[in-house]
Amino acid sequence: MQSDYISDFNNEETVFQVKCSWNGNIIRAAQAPSTSCCGGWSNTKDRDFERLAAVIEAAIKHGIYVIADWHAFGDPEIDLAKDFFANVSKTYGSYPHIIYEIWNEPDGVNGTWPAVKAYADVIIPIIRANDPDNIIVVGTPSYSQRVDVAANDTISGTNIAYTLHYYAATHKQELRDIALTAINQGLPIFITEYGTVEATGGGAVDYESSMLWWEFNDQYQLSYVNFALFTSMVAGSNCCKHGTNATQIGDPEVWTPSGKLVHKKMMSTDQGVGSCNTLNRLDCHPDPNSDQNSCTARGCTYDPNEVTIGPAPHLVYRTIGGQLDIFYFPGPSPEQVIQQYQQIIGTPFLPSYWALGFHICRYGYQSTQDVQTVVNRTIGYNIPFDVAWADINYMDRYKDFTLDQTNASFIEWPRADMVPQNINNQYPLVNGTKILLGVVWPDHHVAFPDFLDPTGQTNQWWSNEFAKFRETVAIDGVWIDMNEISNFNTGFYNSTSQKIYHIKSPRDQPLLCPISGPDAEFDAPPYLTYSVYTNGPQLATDTVCMCAVTGRRSQTFYDTKNLYGWSEMVATDLVQKQAIGKRGAVISRSTFPSSGSYGGHWLGDNHATWDDLKYSIIGIQEFNMFGIPFVGADICGFEQATTEELCLRWQQLGAFYPFMRYLIYDKRRIILFRNHNDNGQPAQDPGVWPSVAEATRKSNLFRYRHLPYLYTLLFNASLNGGTVARPVFFEFPNDTATYELSLQFMWGPALMVVPVTDQFVAEVSGYLPVSATWYSVYDYFYGTSVTANYSSFPAPSEYMTPTFIRAGYIIPRQLPSVTTTLSRQNPFQLLVALASTKSNGQTHHLAYGELYWDDGETIVDNINTYNYYHFEYSFSAKTDLANLTISRTKQAMGITLPTLDNIEVFGLPYAPNFSTAKLNGSPITINTAISSYSPFTRVLNITTTNFINLNNNGPTWTLTWNNQ
């Protein structure tokens, strides 16, 4: 007997390629000549039960769905059908991969619906006696093309669907109408697609048709795009928070034993990131790397939309409006897929150098003295630290800017008769206008700037307000929040009732949106998307009415909602540069494709839990895939009181966020390294606990020492596209062991980070890909080679996070100081990790790297003409000679470089003769008192003050020495 019948019988008429989706009231199956996704079974004429069992077991082995179908031909075969379904359900009913299909064709055309139903009423109890949960599909008359007749006479029971045969070549419009009729009556249907129709009803498969079924109707009445993903793993459609098992980038629930689907709403909403919240909230992004093998793309529209990921795997994408563009990025490597995606959306912005430092923020500061206390406490522990943030507590009654009625545009009601005069009449500046007012943090109503205003006048007003503000406070960057849009008091009304939800400010009258009548077209569409079923009763829950107008009355909010955060980012990036005159940095909560070209992102209001620490690692990697590499999470957690151990470990991890911020509710921290914390929670800045302060100081010194490398990665991404903090499989796509590594990640191609993510541990398990050589760059045997493969690495709290450098790479470093400004003045360093290769019978030890360097603050109008340095490094060593070459490929004007005073080489098997050292052929002195080489660790350290001056000579500097 063959071992895998899914492969062996995929071309038979009785085996179907199935993409099954129990989505609301639609299940879909498609016949296709591929072997890698999932299989189905229909009985053959010889009733080969042995082969049927093999097919079912192969399907279970692959974790895919199979259809068990007894095709009865009239009453004489009912007893056989009873035995068949009794045996299958008893043997396999405990597996979630079985779908039962019941057919009865007494006259070859499925008979009448009453006859089919009577047959089903006999068979279904037999199945349910053994299998109470799996789906049962019932055939319908006229070769299952009259599913509508079952709508008025359904079969009792749960998880029962009705078959609709869909033929790609014929009956398309007619079948669409039939399906729509059935669906509108709430009938679950099972759509089986055939490529062409022959006399036998089967025939050859139209491959393109069987891969995708596209239906386009207004506001998704029967509209979806179904992508078959032929792969072993599917990544997430958006954002940083997934299921209850934080082990995969993407959606771990896809692969649970229950085989359940994961619904992903793609509508930006003000929704926190608590451990029980599996939804996407603040952002809307496709995943250009939807799987590691096929590297297909999926989309995101301006309108509310959703994605469903299911077993097999498969993907169903629904949108209720907007323009849908589908792109396929061929790669072939995952990193190339991201670069190709960024050719469409734009490459990431380059943050100011200071923005790479450590940021501390708290929601709940009562005075500037509170801020000063935290700053002094941090400085007192000699913790490298650059930026102090204030949340909204610095504002007068939480107000941003005042309204400019003359020029700026604000979100409005579509008609004057819809304006709630009892609200607008309270405020002279909006009385008599159609400006829509909501409730957010201020103690009275607010208006929402229309950043999509095509005249530019709103952006000009925004610019003027920032310029006035900076005259009072010399800010260097901007954090924009609540821009999904979030509204605290949103209610709904129809002809008979009024309901209000999410009241946070009972002093103010709520915003009310229509959900019935002619004005409810956008607030109560026929399909509300999964967002409604998870976030509230209507699309406008926690936001403004979908019927509102934007773009100076040229667009509906329904069509532009997901663009609001993006449009504010674009405007704010422009005006902060105008106000500050330097590059600055913008951090936004709500984002959309191409937001990364204008600023960075933090992952939202998380919780002080170990699970949320883990989720942050996943979120940072995903947002790098979304084109926003300058991203991080609130270190130590925003909501809930943290613990000393959790905060210590999170500080160690946070040093590897591209934006590092410690935020406190009192906390928040990002790849922009940020600590941010909630109002009312105890202080949790690093200085609260001496152990956390010491761990933060040590981790931040490591970060600041490696900022030239991090800046180079960000610069390279801005210039060429790509990621910074990336999944391990990006670098090792052929190593299947990397596909499920979500809790370790890489900085670029060279550094591997394996953080501690659990409490009460002093070691961490990780995987170092076996195709590379690795060296430790943390406390445990620093500089020595580490065995590749799965391993446990010592990680007591006083150690750095386990970090490893990949052989073959050179990374630029710098002697760290307590700020980025002071660090930039210190000497450069190089870390060289040698990889061995053989050529012409001789072993060579090689490594390569690069450095991008500029003044760290000048506005980048055009990266291609921008004033910056670029250096390339190459190192080679053989038995008798070692050679380091530094090549300047681009020279900046007016920027003085620090000298290169330290070179560390890992994996050098030869002892150097320092006295033979030469630079560009001329002898150069190495300070042997502080330079060293160990034949046991094979680590070379060359340290000499003012060793190589990269401001002089060039464009190439070659350092050589003889080996002993």
Instruction: Answer whether 167's CB lies under 8 Å from 202's CB.
Output: no
**Helices 644-654 and 610-625: crossing angle, nearest 10°?**
20
Q: Which DSSP category does 811 fall into?
A: E
Instruction: Answer whether 544's CB lies under 8 Å from 411's CB.
Output: yes
Give the pair of three-digit tokens for residue 453.
């205003």
**Residue 273: exposure state from Cβ atoms within 10 A (0-12, 13-18, ≥19):** buried
Identify the active-site residue in 101, 270, 484, 854.
484
Can you list the alpha helix ranges (DSSP code H) found in 9-74? 49-62
Identify the active-site residue in 481, 508, 519, 904.
481
Buried b vs exposed e over 467-485: b needs ≥16 C-beta within 10 Å? eeebeeeeebbbbbbbbbb
Instruction: Let me know the angle formed at the C-alpha of 596 by 593 and 602, rounded to the nearest 5 degrees.
Output: 105
Q: Which DSSP category does 354 fall into?
A: G
**Residue 885: exposure state from Cβ atoms within 10 A (0-12, 13-18, ≥19):** middle
The structure tokens 């191409």 sit at 594
Distance, in Å, from the CA atom of 409 to the CA atom of 550, rounded to the nearest integer, reads: 8
**Residue 481 annotated to the active site:** yes
Give the pair of three-digit tokens for residue 448.
């929402």
Contacts of 723 (CB under 8 A, 6+ apart): 335, 338, 624, 625, 629, 717, 730
Instruction: Answer whether 274's CB lies under 8 Å from 281's CB.
Output: no
Cα 815 to Cα 194, 267, 702: the distances in Å are 66, 45, 10
Provide the CB-side half-sphere exposure for 226 (13 A, CA): 28
CA dihedral 149, 151, 157, 159 (to 10 degrees): 100
Distance, in Å, from the CA atom of 23 to the CA atom of 213, rounded to the nearest integer, reads: 15
CA quadruple 116, 121, 127, 131: dihedral sign: positive
What size, in residues, is the chain?
Answer: 964
Strands 659-664 and 359-362: parallel
Q: How many helices (H) and strands (E) are present in the chain, helices listed first?
A: 20, 45
Q: Which candidate, 43, 33, 39, 42, places its Cα nearest to that of 19?
A: 39
What is the 3-state secondary structure of 836-869? EEEECCEEEEEEEEEEEECCCCCCCCCCCCCCCE
SS3 90: helix
Residue 302: count of CB within 10 angstroms of its CB: 20
Residue 715: count of CB within 10 angstroms of its CB: 24
CA quadruple 825, 828, 829, 835: dihedral sign: positive
Backbone angles phi, psi at 621, to 5 degrees: -65, -40
Q: Which candidate, 28, 26, 25, places its Cα nearest to that of 17?
A: 28
**Catalytic machinery residues:** 481, 484
